[in-house]
């Protein structure tokens, strides 16, 4: 396994516990921290620094130029460490998670070992957004012909991969962190008569467009006065945006929450009527899946058609076509709050048809079958 330190990666890898495979993980950025959730995996961490000299962190913050100069001699390269571990471990399979951190840097090394099968997992913005960058697209086109297998979190990314040279076997689209242990979250699900929250993902950055949701909320201030508007995972830009808006800053029913744990997100979902997520690029959003398992009606952006693989507009949710258009978002919010029947039918459909397919054991069984397929192909 070649991946950054990530909860998505840990949750995916947990599916392989007790599967009979001998598993190693190379932390591509060397956070030098053990992944406690995957204690059954042999973890390659602490590899970056050749010599761990005293005062390293003080120099990094106080004398950054000196720190960079020292690192030019003292830091190992990921490709060199990967090559050494290939020779030492002699794996049957390498599984890379994310194109630019875990595939591109090791390409030249893995090309020397055609006998090793290579699996790639595409996450989030991995392909859809970065294919628009000429250099990154060229990197993609260099990597894809060497890849043997691919997972993704949406079918859209498989289509992109094929367009740019992937000719291996597609293993399917599954949530990036595997499924959800639904029984763990049932305790958070409130009766709908008790719910009065419109829940908003507060991401405003390269991809997130939370401010556009808040612009829509601002324009609907009176119509939303009976709801509690909760924004979670809030970036500083969101706090600044609200503070600079007279309408938003005076909304007594608007609550901003900073970073929250995964369980806290699910608990908030269990109290919400509507969930709104908005970005210009993503795969299948994990928070969309979490809204579905917590029986919340979703309003979600649809970059490249990824969300439309799960949500049919006006049936089991509402799709935002233009994530930069706050007027469109306002119209969708109005449609939802003015149509309780749409909300209840949408939730009922998701609960009956999509929620069961997000159960961890259901997805784990399929994922393990895919790894078994790779294993069987090794024996041919």
C-alpha 329, offset from chain centre: 23
pLDDT in tens, 18-32: 999 999 999 999 998
Query: CA-based diameter of the chain, in Å?
Result: 68
C-alpha 263, offset from chain centre: 16
Does the pLDDT at position 87 exceed 80? yes
Tell me which residue of 53, 50, 38 sits closest to 84, measured CA to CA. Answer: 50
Report the C-alpha gap between 265 and 5 in whole angstroms: 21
Report the C-alpha gap between 117 and 89 in whole angstroms: 14
pLDDT in tens, 167-208: 999 999 999 999 999 999 999 999 999 999 999 999 888 888
pLDDT for 199:
98
Q: Over range 232-244, report the average pLDDT.
A: 89
* 166 Cβ contact list (under 8 Å, min separation 6): 144, 145, 147, 150, 158
pLDDT tier, 73 (very low <50, low <70, confident <90, very high otherwise): confident
Total-model pTM: 0.92
Does the pLDDT at position 53 exceed 80? no
Paired residues of 94 in beta bridges: 118
Does the pLDDT at position 66 exceed 90? no
Query: Are 272 and 296 within 8 A, CB to CB?
Result: yes
pLDDT tier, 74 (very low <50, low <70, confident <90, very high otherwise): confident
pLDDT in tens, 301-311: 999 999 999 99
pLDDT in tens, 318-330: 999 999 999 999 9
Q: What CA dihedral angle connects 46, 51, 54 and 58, to 10 degrees?
A: -70
């Amino acid at each position: 396994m070649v991946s950054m330190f990530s909860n998505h990666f840990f949750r995916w890898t947990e599916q392989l516990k007790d599967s009979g495979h001998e598993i190693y993980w190379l932390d591509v950025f060397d956070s030098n921290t053990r992944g406690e959730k995957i204690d059954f995996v042999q973890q390659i961490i602490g590899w970056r620094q050749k010599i761990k000299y005293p005062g390293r962190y003080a120099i990094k913050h106080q004398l950054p130029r000196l720190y960079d100069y020292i690192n030019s001699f003292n830091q190992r390269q990921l490709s060199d460490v990967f090559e050494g571990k290939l020779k030492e471990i002699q794996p049957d399979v390498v599984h890379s998670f994310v194109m630019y951190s875990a595939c591109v840097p090791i390409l030249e090394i893995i090309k020397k070992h055609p006998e090793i099968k290579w699996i790639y997992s595409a996450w989030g913005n991995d392909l859809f957004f970065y294919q628009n960058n000429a250099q990154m697209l060229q990197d993609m086109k260099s990597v894809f012909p060497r890849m043997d297998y691919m997972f993704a979190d949406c079918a859209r990314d498989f289509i992109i991969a094929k367009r740019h040279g992937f000719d291996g076997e597609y293993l399917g689209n599954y949530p990036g962190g595997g499924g959800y242990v639904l029984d763990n979250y049932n305790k958070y699900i409130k009766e709908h008569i008790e719910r009065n929250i419109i829940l908003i993902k507060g991401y405003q950055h390269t991809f997130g467009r939370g401010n556009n949701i808040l612009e829509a909320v601002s324009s609907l201030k009176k119509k939303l006065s009976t709801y509690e508007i909760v924004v979670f995972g809030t970036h500083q830009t969101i706090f600044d945006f609200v503070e600079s808006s007279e309408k938003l800053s005076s909304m007594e029913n608007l609550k901003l929450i900073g970073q929250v744990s995964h369980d806290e997100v699910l608990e908030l979902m269990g109290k919400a009527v509507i969930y709104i997520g908005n970005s210009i690029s993503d795969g299948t959003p994990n928070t969309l899946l979490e809204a579905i398992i917590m029986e919340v009606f979703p309003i979600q952006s649809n970059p490249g058609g990824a969300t439309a693989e799960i949500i049919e507009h006006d049936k089991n949710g509402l799709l935002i076509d233009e994530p930069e258009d706050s007027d469109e978002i306002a119209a969708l919010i109005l449609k939802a709050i003015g149509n309780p029947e749409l909300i209840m039918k949408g939730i009922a459909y998701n609960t009956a048809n999509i929620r069961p397919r997000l159960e961890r054991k259901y997805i784990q069984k399929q994922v393990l079958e895919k790894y078994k397929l790779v294993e069987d192909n090794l024996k041919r």
